[in-house]
Structure 1
Amino acid sequence: MPKILIVGGGYAGFYTARKLEKWLRRGEAEVTMVDPLPYMTYQPFLPEVAAGSIEPRHAVVPHRRHLKTTTVVTAKVTAIDHATKTATIQPEVGDSWQVDYDIVVVTAGAVSRTFPIPGVADEAIGMKTIEEAVEVRDRILTNFDKAANLPAGPERDRLLTFVVVGGGFAGIEAFGEMRGLASSLLPLYPSLKFEDTHFHLIEAMGRIMPEVSLETSKWVIKDLAQRGAQIHLETQLKSAVGGVVELSTGESFESDTIVWTAGVMANPVLRGTDLPTDERGRMRVQADLRVINDDGVVEGAWGAGDVCAVPDLTGGGVGGFCVPNAQHAVRQAKLMAKNVVASLRGEDTKDYFHKNQGAVAGLGLYDGVFQSGKIAIKGFPAWLIHRGYHGMAMPMFERKARVFGNWITNFFWGRDTISLEASEEPRRAFEEFASRPK
């Protein structure tokens, strides 16, 4: 049987494997998917995980539970030699090995893109993985516990100052949810007041959320400002050394929580391949999602999602390419699975064409914004649209049920405000009291 190797198990990889399982005939091909994580993360839910509205395990989809005939390998692909059609796989424990394939499907996604700003690598945290979202939630909750025991002063201000860098959708949603969580915590801490909490959003451009109209983005700024947030437009982060945030405007303050959401870049896994990439490190593909180089189609190679430069045939994409988001990744994966099956059967492939249906963002509990063309919906109705859309877009029925179960439970009893930061050092309590030889 032809061997199909899927590199990456995020949106595009998971959906490609799912649809190949559906459309391949028995014995028509053998599918293997390799990813360092044993699950797919539904990234639109990361802000709600950070706010305690969704249990972290419910925002991910376990590969082995929901892929029935695909061989799942939890490891990294460190090299792809398409000339010989081999890939090198490195597990977390044990020696690496090579696998042969006939068709490679690269869906390795994207990682946080950072700049060489002093202190960012040491102090900041991203909002790209479920683990990062959990850390942000635990950091906020733990900082409130610490601050409640301190008198007013620099140390308390540092603990209660939260910074988000990046004013795109990811940054705004994280910022709004973090602000909402902090506000909901205040009644539990009588020694702290609303004025003691400080939220700063730093955006280098002159506006936020380029996916929506300028008027809508201004409404979001006003809405966040009314909730006690400070938006720094046309401002760059110059340094974050030691948690001291220095801005290009000359303003400076200390923060214990700096969240970085200022863009993504193609997964560096492509650096270990002989597959063609563009100047931004994205794999070059044509509209039917076949990999191409200067001489034309690269046989036996396909790609989709954030790791690829997929042409946007609607003309609405930045630079002529689809923007890196889940809306495109899922649809590209489904089409790519069909095209791979079609190519195996000698049938024609179809080009990817998807016109943006709109944008919806949650800004915290009961607050959101929705934009589709010239239609803009704000506040509570947009929040309902946000939850409805993403609740239904969550893969697998049992995952949907768990997420909706979280929301229903929270409606009656409020969000869970327990910090599990101690879980990062689970042996600390045991070690403290463990008997040792004299």
Structure 2
Amino acid sequence: MKTILVVGGGYAGFYAAWKLEKRLRRGEAQLVLVDPRPYMTYQPFLPEVLAGSIEARHAAVSHRRHLRRTRLVAGAVTMVDHARKTVTVRPPAGPDFELGYDIVVVTAGAVTRRLAVPGVAERAIGLKHVEEAVAIRDRLLTAFDQAAGLEPGPLRRRLLTVTFVGGGFSGVEGFGELLSLATSLVRTYPELDPGELAFHLVEVQDRILPEVTDEPGAWVVRSLEKRGAHVHLNTHVVSSTDGHVVLSDGAEFDSELIVWTTGNAANPMVSRHTDLPINPRGLLTVRADLRVGTDAEPVPDAWGAGDDAAVPDLTSSLPGATTVPNAQNAVRQGKLLAKNIVATLRGREPKQYVHHSLGSVATLGLGRGIFQYRRLVITGLPAWLMHRGYHVLAVPTWERKVRVLAIWLTGLLFGRDIVSLASVQHPRDAFLAGGEPDRPVPAQSSATGNVDDLAGRAL
């Protein structure tokens, strides 16, 4: 039996393994999936997680629950040696080890692009994983609680100032949702004035949301500014040391929360630690049928897809164009990967990846959104409903669809939960703050101690 090893359990990797399980005959091949996380993150739900509209676990799809015929290996692949057909895995505990394979599927995904700006590494937080979205939400809620106990002044202004760096879909959606949460939250704090909220969106280009055309992008800027946000275009962050943000347009302010969403960078494992061919940007060189290599020089038994692969865009008129690294493409590439791998195992030719965009849709906060398909642009509540409808259909498995719908319906009835659980990030603090430890019970008193303990339990 051949071993098919999937590197990464994100969109493309999860769907490839999921569909391979359905298509492979018993005994035709064994599947192995390696990922440091035990779940696939449904990233379009992260803005709603940080706004409290979706429970954090509902944006994560369990590998173990849904990949029943796949061997799951917890760990990060640090090297792919295709010449030897082995990968090196770094587990959460213990030494590195090697896994062999017959066919490798590289879907390791991309990482957040972090620029060498002073203070970013120490202060900023990304928005690519569930734990980051939860931390952003809890930090905002905690900041409100702290600010409510202070007199107006610099410290209170700092606590109520939020900065998002990056005006792509992830940044704009997260910014809009968190602004929506903060605007509704301030009404429950009579000690605070809504005018004290300061939300800054910083984008180095002259527009936001590059996936839509100029006019819809400009409408989003106007919409955010009407809601009290500050949008800084053609601007970059010069420094954020100790939370003091300095922008290239001359603006300076203290910000308690800095969210970094400046796009993707090549996965270091793919760009530096593999003998598979990569392009100048550090992405895996992939053919239109998702096999690694070029039409002239294909690499046998190697496949790639998702954000770490430069997949040719056959729908584009631009020479050398590659598909946009987004959820639409990753999901569809993962599904085609499964079909093509099974086809080659059975002696058939694989199909090329061709996908015409279904349009772009984004949430900008509760009841607000934007949708564009070619020249058709829809804004406001209808676009927001379209966003929710599309993603509840797109999130994999009926189990997740039902859970998400249930939490949305609960939110309509009772509103968003505004309890901060930031303390769960440091679960031992309460235990250690309990005072001096008791003296150990002397050995000769152990019997009496046990009786007293039993009596206490009976009471």
SS in 2 for 1:321: coil
CA 343–434 in structure 1, closer or farther in 2 if over 3 Å, else same:
farther
Q: Distance in 2 between matches of 1:7 and 1:332?
A: 15
Matched residue type, 1:10: G
Match of 1:355 in 2: 356
- Superposed CA deviations along residues 246-301 of structure 1, whole A, max 9, x for unmatched, are 01111111101010111102221212211111111100000000000596100010
Matched residue type, 1:223: S
Deviation at 1:437, TM superposition (A): 5.9
Match of 1:253 in 2: 253
Match of 1:262 in 2: 262
Match of 1:371 in 2: 372
Match of 1:330 in 2: 331
Deviation at 1:158, TM superposition (A): 0.5
Match of 1:314 in 2: 315
Query: Mapping of 1:9-88 within 5 angstroms?
Result: 9-88=9-88
Query: Mapping of 1:358-437 within 5 angstroms?
Result: 358-433=359-434, 435-436=436-437
Deviation at 1:375, TM superposition (A): 0.2
SS in 1 for 2:306: coil
Unmatched runs of 5 consecutive residues or more in structure 2: 440-459
Matched residue type, 2:99: V
Q: Distance in 2 between matches of 1:317 and 1:62?
A: 38
**Count of aligned positions:** 438
Q: Distance in 1 between matches of 2:427 and 2:116?
A: 33
Q: Distance in 1 between matches of 2:214 and 2:296?
A: 42
CA 434–62 in structure 1, closer or farther in 2 if over 3 Å, else same:
farther
Deviation at 1:181, TM superposition (A): 0.4
1:233 aligns with 2:268: no
Who wins on radius of gyration, i.e. which is larger? 2
Deviation at 1:60, TM superposition (A): 0.4
Query: Mapping of 1:135-154 within 5 angstroms?
Result: 135-154=135-154
Q: Distance in 2 between matches of 1:317 and 1:338?
A: 28
Q: Distance in 1 between matches of 2:154 and 2:436?
A: 40
Match of 2:244 in 1: 244
Point out the more displaced range, 423-432 or 4-13. Answer: 423-432
Point out the more displaced range, 263-272 or 121-130. Answer: 263-272
**Superposition CA RMSD, Å:** 1.3
- Superposed CA deviations along residues 157-213 of structure 1, whole A, max 9, x for unmatched, are 100000001111111100100100001111210011110100000011111111112
Does the CA contact (< 8 Å) of 1:314 and 1:353 recur in 2?
Answer: yes
Query: Mapping of 1:290-305 within 5 angstroms?
Result: 290-292=291-293, 296-305=297-306
- Superposed CA deviations along residues 314-360 of structure 1, whole A, max 9, x for unmatched, are 00689600011000000001011110111111101100000111000
Match of 1:190 in 2: 190
Does the CA contact (< 8 Å) of 2:287 and 2:295 recur in 1?
Answer: no
Does the CA contact (< 8 Å) of 1:166 and 1:261 recur in 2?
Answer: yes
Q: Distance in 1 between matches of 2:420 and 2:131?
A: 14
CA 367–159 in structure 1, closer or farther in 2 if over 3 Å, else same:
same
Deviation at 1:99, TM superposition (A): 1.2
SS in 1 for 2:122: helix
Q: Distance in 2 between matches of 1:166 and 1:317?
A: 26
Does the CA contact (< 8 Å) of 2:312 and 2:320 recur in 1?
Answer: no
Q: Distance in 1 between matches of 2:282 and 2:351?
A: 25
Does the CA contact (< 8 Å) of 1:317 and 1:323 recur in 2?
Answer: no
Deviation at 1:383, TM superposition (A): 0.3
Query: Mapping of 1:84-99 within 5 angstroms?
Result: 84-99=84-99
Deviation at 1:428, TM superposition (A): 1.2
Does the CA contact (< 8 Å) of 1:239 and 1:245 recur in 2?
Answer: yes
Q: Distance in 2 between matches of 1:49 and 1:212?
A: 24
Matched residue type, 2:13: G
Match of 2:448 in 1: none
SS in 2 for 1:361: strand
Matched residue type, 1:327: Q
Q: Distance in 2 between matches of 1:17 and 1:227?
A: 43
Deviation at 1:436, TM superposition (A): 2.1
SS in 2 for 1:83: coil
Match of 1:105 in 2: 105
Deviation at 1:429, TM superposition (A): 1.1
Point out the more displaced range, 285-294 or 244-253. Answer: 285-294
Matched residue type, 2:237: L
Structure 1: 4+ residue segments shifted above 4 A? 316-319
Q: Distance in 2 between matches of 1:9 and 1:84?
A: 23
SS in 1 for 2:58: helix
Does the CA contact (< 8 Å) of 2:289 and 2:352 recur in 1?
Answer: yes
Q: Distance in 2 between matches of 1:325 and 1:295?
A: 28
TM-score by length of 1: 0.98
Q: Distance in 1 between matches of 2:283 and 2:254?
A: 36
Deviation at 1:435, TM superposition (A): 4.4
Q: Distance in 2 between matches of 1:412 and 1:276?
A: 53
Does the CA contact (< 8 Å) of 1:165 and 1:202 recur in 2?
Answer: yes
Deviation at 1:218, TM superposition (A): 1.1
Does the CA contact (< 8 Å) of 1:4 and 1:29 recur in 2?
Answer: yes
Point out the more displaced range, 351-360 or 289-298. Answer: 289-298
CA 112–136 in structure 1, closer or farther in 2 if over 3 Å, else same:
same
Does the CA contact (< 8 Å) of 2:207 and 2:217 recur in 1?
Answer: yes
Match of 1:127 in 2: 127
Does the CA contact (< 8 Å) of 1:276 and 1:293 recur in 2?
Answer: no
Q: Distance in 2 between matches of 1:413 and 1:79?
A: 49
Does the CA contact (< 8 Å) of 1:266 and 1:308 recur in 2?
Answer: no
Deviation at 1:36, TM superposition (A): 0.2
